[in-house]
Structure 1
Amino acid sequence: MPFLLFFIKQTALEAFILKVKVKYFAIFREITNKREEELEVKKGATVKDLLEALAERYGKKFRDLVFNGEAVSDRLLMLVDGVNIYSLNSLETKLSENSTFVILPPVGGGG
């Protein structure tokens, strides 16, 4: 019986959790020391929720790049499943099971 209770509890918890892949580039790769990782987020989590969780996880340097005070920097390129979040619901874009989130810092150039 204990195994059955564990299974039921585990199944119930899984109903509230999504797995999301996060891909890092440039300075974000240096800060996290990762190219990508899979994270669990609450069902209904938004891009902003994910960014706040990542800032909590990776500290001040990450937070300073992503946030301008309480607002998220508008200089970043962020994609959910290959689509710019500003073409979706911006920071309120909801993440789905197996979504891929990509974050890129500002890129300069010119000649």
Structure 2
Amino acid sequence: MKVKVKYFAIFREITNKRDEELELQEGATVKDLLKILSDKYGKKFKDLVFNGEIVSDRVLMLVDGVNIYSLNNLETKLNENSTFVILPPVGGGG
């Protein structure tokens, strides 16, 4: 199945892409996709996304416009033509 991945800020710099389409196995999850992307884009990508063996809670990830933490987190299933968005931590002022 095809999934569209959109990158922003530092992720765009690491991948040198704004977005891309990937072919994934039917039933793939966000966790599966992150492993593929980490293997494809290397240590810098992996270090931003993962905190040791767990995914950093500072990275915002959306599936079809919904935060994965409002869904099934890393076990959120992706569907044909899903759009996955990954954003780095954003600092705020106050």
TM-score scaled by length of structure 1: 0.83
| RMSD over aligned Cα atoms | 0.6
Say how many residue pairs are matched. 94
CA distance in 1, matches of 2:53, 2:73: 16
Determine which structure has more spread, i.e. the larger CA radius of gyration: 1
Amino acid at match of 2:40: R
Partner of 1:29: 12
- Map 1:67-78 to 2 at 5 A: 67-78=50-61
CA distance in 2, matches of 1:75, 1:37: 23
- Map 1:1-111 to 2 at 5 A: 18-111=1-94
CA distance in 1, matches of 2:51, 2:24: 23
Higher helix share: 1
- Moved >2 Å (runs of 4+): none
CA distance in 1, matches of 2:78, 2:20: 15
CA distance in 2, matches of 1:109, 1:84: 19
Percent identity of equivalent pairs: 84
CA distance in 1, matches of 2:76, 2:50: 17
TM-score scaled by length of structure 2: 0.98
Structure 1, gaps ≥5 residues long: 1-17
Name the SS for the 1:30 alignment partner: helix
Aligned-residue offset at 1:95: 0.2
Name the SS for the 1:101 alignment partner: strand
Aligned-residue offset at 1:97: 0.1
